[in-house]
Amino acid sequence: MSSRLLVTGGAGFIGANFVLGRVAAGDQVVNLDKLTYAGNLQSLAPVEKASGYTFVHGGIEDRELVSRLLTEYRPEAVVHFAAESHVDRSILGPESFVMTNVVGTFRLLDATLEHWGSLSGSARDRFRFLHVSTDEVYGSLAPTDAAFHENTPYSPNSPYSASKAGSDHLVRAYHHTYGLPTLTTNCSNNYGPLQFPEKLIPLMVLNALNGKPLPVYGDGLNVRDWLYVGDHCAAIATVLAKGRSGETYNVGGLNEMPNIAVVQTICDILDELRPGVTSRRALITYVKDRPGHDRRYAIDCRKLTAELGWKPQETFSSGIRRTIAWYLENMPWVEAITSGAYREWIDRNYVGRETTAVTGSAQ
Ligand SMILES: NC(=O)c1ccc[n+]([C@@H]2O[C@H](COP(=O)([O-])OP(=O)(O)OC[C@H]3O[C@@H](n4cnc5c(N)ncnc54)[C@H](O)[C@@H]3O)[C@@H](O)[C@H]2O)c1
């Protein structure tokens, strides 16, 4: 059965993968995105003319706009991806993280609560607010610690994870205090097509292809659990369809790896697909560590598997091959971002414009 969804941040990495999948599956999607540096309408080109897709340029902190969209489109669920998401940027400039992730989520929740209060019968019973969050809210693990589970106490260490923790707490409070039917997913590191080239995996793929140094923080032994973005989108769809209101579900890839092993794998696959004179491993350069760099994340996602039947389909070795192949086949997408042409286009098109909804078009 198809659904009507209000998606926030659907022009970002995970949001765009989710929107493409949902529109293809027959859902009606309204995508509210502010188009920060991380938002990219090119990622949504395959659906921009689809009748089930509407793009709205605007911020989640604009309560009036959110209320208008909820009234006009009457979505059955809000799926909330919009966020400032890059830890390094949060260290250099934390304020936008607080404004979007905490204040923006608060305003979105508040407008949604008002809308939900106006519903009755099955529309009210079926309605869900799904909040997409991160495993980084749980802090850092020692090498032998048990993986994060849904009841692990919060212990965020970066301005990014602290702001996401704040948003998680607000979602929890809106369920507990006002009864808003919420769902929260806390997910490990994603990788896959359409990821902005500032993040580890696309950065390493592109630098390695261009013969540039591959900067690895510290000793390279920080461990992350890697989840293929398509598996994450499937988990979100599963939680939306079957999750219990008020619950939190951890989402993980069952792929714990030190960063250096991730980078070496990328070098080896590129050497195989695009052989060079020397191994790309020679490009690896250790650089000064990120301040407060969490040592290890690992996620226990047994609740999601046992209760709702989801499990990841990709291993790291299958997912990273698909990802590298995607970047090799989509260099125009990458070049438009890295050349600055995309940003210039966005500035020309959107700065100073009124917020408007454009049905069936991302123009
Ligand atoms: N990328 C990961 O590995 C990962 C892992 C776990 C959880 N998450 C969470 O998943 C969500 C999506 O992550 P991503 O990697 O796709 O992020 P991203 O940075 O690629 O995209 C964020 C999107 O949100 C939009 N946005 C930012 N501020 C906004 C605002 N105020 N109003 C409306 N739109 C706004 C941006 O334009 C962009 O399109 C985030 O909430 C993030 O915390 C990400």
d(CA 147, CA 254): 11
Enter the pTM of the model: 0.94
- Any ligand 1 atom below 6 A from CB of 56: no
Residue with CA at minimum distance from ligand 1 atom 28: 83
For the CA of 164, the nearest atom of ligand 1: 43
Q: How does pLDDT run along the chain (363 residues), one tens digit per residue?
A: 679 999 999 999 999 999 999 999 999 999 999 999 999 999 999 999 999 999 999 999 999 999 999 999 999 999 999 999 999 889 999 999 999 999 999 999 999 999 999 999 999 999 999 999 999 999 999 999 999 999 999 999 999 999 999 999 999 999 999 999 999 999 999 999 999 988 899 999 999 999 999 999 999 999 999 999 999 999 999 999 999 999 999 999 999 999 999 999 999 999 999 998 899 999 999 998 888 888 999 999 999 999 999 999 999 999 999 999 999 999 999 988 887 766 676 677 656 655 545 444 332
For the CA of 189, the nearest atom of ligand 1: 3
- Any ligand 1 atom below 6 A from CB of 129: no
Which residues lie below 8 Å from residue 313, measured CB to CB, with a gap of 6+? Answer: 228, 230, 231, 234
Residue with CA at minimum distance from ligand 1 atom 25: 9
Helix (H) or strand (E) holding 37: none
| Residues annotated catalytic, as ranges | 135-136, 160
- Any ligand 1 atom below 6 A from CB of 166: no
Q: Can you say how many angstroms the Cα of residue 302 is from the centroid of all Cα atoms in its chain?
A: 21
Contact 297, 224 (CB under 8 A): yes
pLDDT at position 276, please?
85
pLDDT at position 349, please?
65
What value does the CA radius of gyration of the chain take, rounded to a whole number of Å? 20
For the CA of 36, the nearest atom of ligand 1: 37
Reported in sequence order, the residue ranges of 194-314 that DSSP labels E, i.e. its strands, are 214-217, 223-228, 248-251, 256-258, 284-287
Q: What are the φ/ψ torsions at residue 30 (nearest 5 degrees)?
A: -105, 120
Distance 84 CA to ligand 1 centre (A): 6
- Any ligand 1 atom below 6 A from CB of 253: no
The residues that bridge with 250 in the sheet, in sequence order, are 186
249: closest CA among 155, 140, 171?
Answer: 171
Q: In testing the pocket of ligand 1, which one of 85, 132, 158 has its CB within 8 Å of the most ligand atoms?
A: 85
- Any ligand 1 atom below 6 A from CB of 14: yes
Distance 338 CA to ligand 1 centre (A): 19
- Any ligand 1 atom below 6 A from CB of 245: no
pLDDT at position 259, please?
95
